[in-house]
Amino acid sequence: MDLSPSSELAAAAADLHSEPDVESTVQSVLQHARALTGADGVAVMIRQGGRPAVMSATSPEAAKADLFQIQCAEGPSLEAMCARDAVVVDDVSADDRWRSWSGSVTEMGFQSVLSLGLGTNRSALGALSVYSARVGAFADDRAQLARLYARHASVALVSARHESGLRRAMNARHVIGQAQGVLMERHGLDAEQAFAMLRNSARDHGVKLGERAEQIVASRPAEVG
């Protein structure tokens, strides 16, 4: 039985929030975007370290279409990312907003694009772009559905990033505790002294605290069972 657009959107949103990590969430975002819009290619661009980067795509052509935007420093994905809104290109060959980029994209067979900003009210996370080989592929109703979907995708990606960061922080804290234990046993220190030694050692080696902790734990002789 075919689902209504609202039911499809609800099912996609539920699926996005069930993914275990950022990478899986991105793949789910891509696949559902393609299914909801009927696109020929989908790409996700993410802001990393203040710079845009193509995180993943459903095809090499879609990845190149987004990558060309970064190389040309222009295009609908970049504009959608900055504006945190939707940018519709009904006919790439007739649109003169990004001339350096549009020529390369039409050669790949894409004729229309819908780019949607991803992020929150506080920050721009990236952009989701759906590409079609047909002119005017993204009609108003489909564009509106995609806008709603982009909001769900934004929440899912932000949540996945947050949870991933928490897991990394918890793992780092655990390793730091292990390294303190190694130093306490090795040098007869208390916990505070061991942490100070670990911090100084990380600074002397020019690495982060967690990385130095991993090195110290790895240097501990293996227990013989």
Shared domain for 210 and 100, answered yes or no, is: no
Tell me how far CA of residue 19 lies from CA of 3, 37, 203, in angstroms. Answer: 22, 21, 37
Residues 93, 40: one domain?
yes
Counted domains in the chain: 2
Segment 152-201, tens digit of pLDDT = 888 888 877 766 655 666 667 778 888 888 888 889 888 788 888 988 89
Instruction: Specify whether 153 is located in the same domain as 171.
Output: no
Give a yes or no: residue 41 inside a domain. yes
**108 and 150 both lie in a single domain:** yes
> Tens-of-pLDDT digits for all 225 residues of the chain?
455 666 777 777 777 777 777 788 888 889 889 988 889 999 999 888 788 999 899 999 999 999 999 999 999 999 999 888 899 999 999 999 998 899 889 888 999 999 999 987 777 889 999 999 999 998 777 788 888 888 888 888 887 776 665 566 666 777 888 888 888 888 988 878 888 898 889 889 988 888 888 888 888 764 433
For residue range 188-211, list pLDDT tens digits in order: 888 788 888 988 898 899 888 888
Give the domain CATH number at 178: 1.10.10.10
Residues 186 and 121 occupy one common structural domain: no
- Asked if residue 225 belongs to a domain, the reply is no
Residues 135 and 200 in one domain: no
Same domain assignment for residues 96 and 201: no
- Tell whether 170 and 155 lie within a shared domain: no
What pTM was estimated for this model as a whole? Answer: 0.69
Count Cα neighbours of 147 within 13 Å in the Cβ-side half-sphere: 13
Q: Is residue 200 part of a domain?
A: yes
Q: Which domain holds residue 125?
A: 5-161
- DSSP letters of the chain? -PPPHHHHHHHHHHHHTT-SSHHHHHHHHHHHHHHHHT-SEEEEEEEETTEEEEEEESSHHHHHHHHHHHHHT-SHHHHHHHHTSEEEES-GGG--TTHHHHHHHHHTT--EEEEEEEE-SS-EEEEEEEEESSTT-S-HHHHHHHHHHHHHHHHHHHHHHHHHHHHHHHHHHHHHHHHHHHHHHHHT--HHHHHHHHHHHHHHHTS-HHHHHHHHHHTSPPPP-
CA distance 218 to 198: 14
